[in-house]
Amino acid sequence: MVAAKCLVEEGNADVDKAMNRGCNPLYIASKRGYLKVVKWLVEEGKADVDKAAYDGTTALFGASGTGFLKAAKYLVEKGKAEVDKATGKGVTLLYIAEADSNEEIVKYLKRKGAIEEN
């Protein structure tokens, strides 16, 4: 995380810059459950929590699909991520969480008003 801080603070790196598949640092950190990095990117780096990859997925999709409830909660509660997002093909956050049997995230997203299908 020291390298990320240095790149942003000293080198003016763009925290929302996507890689070749459209994934940005916040998506990757969320998907891997790196909560400290997620918090830093949102709070200090001012990352756009709803910045979508080429396929329409956001950081919340990453956390929801891999079962990282703490990262998902942080993105929604502190980052104000949208829970009713769907990809261009209509795939919703609930679908992703349900498909990967992430029951706690499914319950959480439903409590927060996530849509069943688009």
Give domain status of residue 47, yes or no: yes
Residue 40 C-beta-side C-alpha neighbours within 13 Å: 16
pLDDT for 54? 86
CATH of the domain at 78: 1.25.40.20
Give domain status of residue 103, yes or no: no
Prediction pTM value: 0.86
pLDDT for 6? 45
d(CA 97, CA 80): 19
What tens digit of pLDDT does each residue of 26-44 get?
Answer: 999 999 999 999 999 999 8
Report the mean per-residue pLDDT for the chain. 85
Cβ atoms < 10 Å from Cβ of 63: 33
How many domains, the chain? 1
What tens digit of pLDDT does each residue of 60-69 get?
Answer: 999 999 999 9
Residue 22, classed as helix, strand or coil, is coil
